[in-house]
Amino acid sequence: MEKQTLQKHTLEKQSWKNIQAQIRQRIAAREWEPGDLIPGESQLAQQLGCARATVNRALQGLADAGLIERRRKAGTRVKLYPVRKATLEIPITRLEVEQSGATYRHQIKKKKIVKTPPSLAKHLNLSAAENLLHLSSVHYANQKPFLYEERYICIATVPAIANIDFEQVSANEWLVRNAPFTHGDVAISAENASSLEAEQLQTREGAAIVVIDRTTWNQAKLITNVRLAYAPGYRMYSAI
C-alpha cells in the first residue's frame, strides 16, 4: 500500500503500455543496440518500479511487434532486423462498399455443382471426387462493378448452402456469419485482366487489377476457395 502510493506520486500512471513505451524509447535511443541482450524481467521490474508480470506484458507486446526476440534461459534481445507487420482487415464486401458511401448490389453470374477442378485439387490437396458448389458473381458499388468473384464451396463441409438463396445474401456474407473457420491463407497479387474479367468489371482487357486468392478451413475440412478480382483502382490501406 505504502509502495503503491509512492509510485502514484512519483510516476503518476503506471501501466504496461507506459512501461512498453519506455522500453521502446530506450531501444529507439540505442541504449540497447540491435543484437544486444536487454536486462531480465525481474531486473527491469525493479528498475521501473512495477511487478514482473507488468514488464512481461510489455515485452510480449514488443516481441509481437517484431522489435525484440525472447527465448527462455537465453533472455531477450533487440532484433537485428525488426520485422514490421501490416495488418489488413478482411471486410465483408457489402460492408466495404457501404462504408464508402456507395450503394451495394450483387449478382450471381454462374452457379453449379462441379467435381473438384484439377487446378484446385493439387493446391488444396482435395479429392478429385469432391462435390463443390461453383459460384461466380459480381459485386457493384453504385451500379459500377467493384469486384468479380469466382468461388468454390465444399458441400460436404457446409451442407446448409444447398438451401441458400444467394441472390438475397452473398456467399461471402453468408459464409462469414454461418461457417466459422479455424484458419486460412491469402495471397495478393496483380494481374492483367483477362477478357472475361474485363467484361465483368467493365474495363479493358489487360488493365491491372488486384487479385486476392483466399482459402479457408474448418479444422482439416475445406470450407471455401475464392479468387477476388477487384476493379482497377482498388487500393488496400493499413497502418503500421
Order across the sheet with 37-38: list the strands: 37-38, 75-78, 68-71
Least distance (Å) from DNA to the CB of residue 217? Answer: 24
Count of CB atoms situated within 10 Å of the CB of 131: 13
Closest by Cα among 141, 149, 137 to 107:
137
Cα 93 to Cα 106: distance, rounded to the nearest angstrom:
10
Closest to 106 (Cα-Cα) out of 225, 228, 191, 224:
228
When the beta carbons of 10 and 143 are compared against DNA, the nearer one is: 10
Q: Which residues would be at the binding site for DNA (CB under 7 A)?
A: 3-4, 7, 13-19, 40-42, 49-54, 56-57, 59-60, 63, 70-76
Toward DNA, which CB reaches closer, 51 or 176? 51
The amino acid that residue 35 corresponds to is G
Residue 209 touches a second copy, criterion: CB under 8 A? yes
- Residue 129 binds what, of DNA, a second copy, none (CB under 5 to 8 Å, by partner type)? none
Count of residues that bind a second copy according to CB under 8 A = 50
Using the minimum distance from each CB to a second copy, give the nearer residue, 95 or 128: 95
Q: Pick from a second copy, DNA, none: which does 4 bind, CB < 5 to 8 A by kind?
A: DNA
Q: Does 114 bind a second copy (CB under 8 A)?
A: no
String of contacts with a second copy for each residue 152-171, x by CB under 8 A? --------------------
Residue listed under C-alpha cell 509481437: 64
Contacts of 67 (CB under 8 A, 6+ apart): 24, 27, 78, 79, 82
Nearest residue to 49 via CA among 5, 102, 109, 105:
5
Residues of this chain that interact with a second copy (CB under 8 A) are 27-28, 34, 66, 80-92, 95, 176-177, 180, 183-192, 206-211, 214, 216, 218, 230, 232-240
